[in-house]
Every structure is written in C-alpha cells, then in structure tokens.
Amino acid sequence: MNIVFIIQSLSLGGGVERTLTDKANYLAEAGHRVTMVTYEQGLHPLSFELHPAVSHVDLECRYFTLFRLPLLKRLPKIRALKKLFLARWNQLTDELRPDVIVMTTYSDEFRREIVSVCKKGYRLIMESHTAFLYDKKPKNILDRLRQAYDLHLIRQCDMVLALSEGDAAFWRRYVADVRVLRNPVSFYIDDPASRAVKGTRRIISAGRLNVPKRYDLLIEAFALIADRYPQWQLDIFGNGPLRDELQHRIDAKGLSGRVVLNKPTPAIYEAYLRSDFLVLCSDYEGLPLVLIEAMACGIPVISTDCPYGPREIIDDGVTGLLSAMDAQALADKMEWMMSHEAEREEMGARAHQAAARYKKDVVMVEWEKAYLSLPSRQSP
C-alpha cells in the first residue's frame, strides 16, 4: 500500500507529531510505501526520527509567515500561496499516486486544496486528534461560517478516524464512515518495578503551553499545597505562547525553582521514569497521549475529567484519579498522591497493566486495517 501523510510541520514535539511519526515508521517497517508531507517545515529539524524508508517532502508553503504582514498586503499573498500549494500538491500526488492520503484536523489553512484530490479519485482519510467540537468552537459569526465550510470539505473524506467515542459522536453527524482507534504508545517498560529512580518527589506534566492545557490551574493547585510538601517539585515540559505569562505566575507565587518550565525533550520517557506521577488539567482533549505514556512507564496519573479521552483512559481510583476543573479539587488529588506512597506505587503498577492495550504492536494492526479497508477507486 502507498500511503501519504500530510501535516503542517514535524518540528513541534507534540503528541500529534509523535503519533504520526510512530505510525509512519510502523507502516514502513511493515513493507508499505510511506511519504510524510509537510508544508511549513522549512529548515527546522524533525522532532522525532523518521524510519529510513519513510520519504519526507516539504512543500515550502509557510502560511503562518503571512500574519506578519498588514491585512491589505496579506490577502493577495494568501491567494498566491494557496495557488502555489495547490500546484505543488497536485504535482506531488500525481507523482506518488497514493492509495490513501491521511490528513489531520489541523490543516485548516489548506483544507480545500488538500481535499481537492478527491475529485481526481484519491482516497482521503481525516484523523481527528482533538475534541473538534471544543477545539474549533466558533467565537463569532465569521468563525461559524468558516467552520461550516470546513465541515463541508471534510464531508468529502472517505473516512474519519477519531480517538475517542465522544469525538466520534460529533463526526457521525457529518461523515458516514467514522471509526474510533487509539493512538499507539512509543515506549512500554517491561517491568515497572525495575524503575531505577523512585520516590523522586517530582510531579511531571507535558504539553503545549497554551490556553486549553490550563497550566495556570496546575500552578495554582500546586501553590495551594506547596508549603506542606517542601521537598516536592513540579516539572512542566513544553513550549508555547504562554511561557512568559506562566513563568511570571510561578515567580509571583514564590515557586521559582520548584515549578520549572522545561523545553520539550525527545527523551520524555526518561523524564516519566524519574517522576512519581503525572498531572493533566486540560479544558478538552482528543485522547491525551501523555496519560498513556506515563502509565506505560509505570507511574499513575491525575487528570481533569474533561471532554474527551481521560475518562476513557483512566479507571478512577484504580489506575489514576479524575478531578473536577477546580484548583482546590486538583490540589486535593495531588496531595493524596503525594502522601500515599505505597498506594501510589500500586496504582502505578495497575496503570502500567492498563496501558498494555496501547502498545504499538496491538494498536497499529487496527490502524493498518483501517487504511487497507477502503475500497480502491479507479486510478486517477
């Protein structure tokens, strides 16, 4: 099978980039022809290593750079860039002649151009890596019109692959073939009891430093209990537009050195293994990979009970804890985890067992079946 993935960039070390890279590598190792297409990569290095058999092509259409221009200059540049993208995309797909093209919900800027290949007979799958209903929630009438047009385009896809039942329920209103598949975890420790470092008194969190991830709430919750647990610290791994604001909040709370904003790392699993538990406090999620990654390393997790995903991953009180979206409620869950060492270790062991269903050799078989299940069209 000849598969093409298309995404803005592989330079951000986020869950989507990691997941697509893992899937591309698995499929290449299984003997499929795989091409990873980006359009905003530029000279930025890849965050995660691609298998030597995976081809990488960048269309060099960096849409985000246009926002530096005044509006009147920006509009003609946008039209020209879309025209350039379409020409390069058509040329590439006609050269590769893929059996399946896979895009994500994040390619808003060039959705129309990507979807246009359906008219030429190519099969197109959209992967929803978020809670679309919340992530793309319209703020005004212009947003509603944009979303309506985006959904019109997505209706032309042959299949939508969602990560949670909640997100899938939304897509079934628009697309006939909607399936729920789990993301694979890259690393699964064989024996969590063999973790070299335990009792580090370190809490870990990882993700983009933006509004939906609610790191402001996490910092507030930690501040409520920090004085009672002076040996504990919180390490946050991620980049994003709120870095300076969050650092100011940390400093204002007197938590400098105890709450640390670390840059993203490709060795995130080593960071999990040197932590006691993970906390996620998002407003919404797709299927939060960080929860699964931490559980695969044998540490328990705490998450806000947000739509969608955490409740489908965590067995509350067994493999982790679910919290209301409230600083005090989250602080109470964190304090329980910090003060119950034996129970925390037992919970981590159960979390590790539960994460086995996300192992790559289990999950990727289902993704491969989904890609192969599309009936072939007449070649373009």
pLDDT per position as a tens digit, 302-320: 999 999 989 999 999 999 9
Percent composition of the chain: helix, strand, coil (DSSP 3-state, to 5):
45, 15, 35
What pLDDT shows up at residue 196?
55
Higher pLDDT residue, 371 or 65? 371
Q: Residue 291, exposed/middle/buried by CB under 10 A (0-12, 13-18, 19+)?
A: buried
Higher pLDDT residue, 376 or 335? 335
- Least confident window among 1-10, 13-22, 294-303, 329-338: 13-22
Does 380 have pLDDT greater than 70?
A: no
What pLDDT shows up at residue 274?
93
What pLDDT shows up at residue 197?
64
Does 186 have pLDDT greater than 60?
A: yes
| 236-284 per-position pLDDT tens digit | 999 999 999 999 999 999 999 999 999 988 889 999 999 999 999 999 9
348 and 299 in contact (C-beta within 8 Å)? yes
User: What CA–CA distances, in Å, run from 20 to 54, 213, 216, 355?
Assistant: 12, 21, 29, 19
What single-letter DSSP state applies at residue 377? P
In the chain, what percentage of residues exceed pLDDT 90?
76
- Least confident window among 7-21, 154-168, 210-224: 7-21
What pLDDT shows up at residue 304?
97
Residue recorded with tokens 């983009």: 208
Does 192 have pLDDT greater than 80?
A: no
- Bridge-based pairing of strands 178-180 and 159-162 is parallel
What pLDDT shows up at residue 334?
98
| For range 97-103, the mean pLDDT | 96
* pTM of the entire predicted model: 0.86
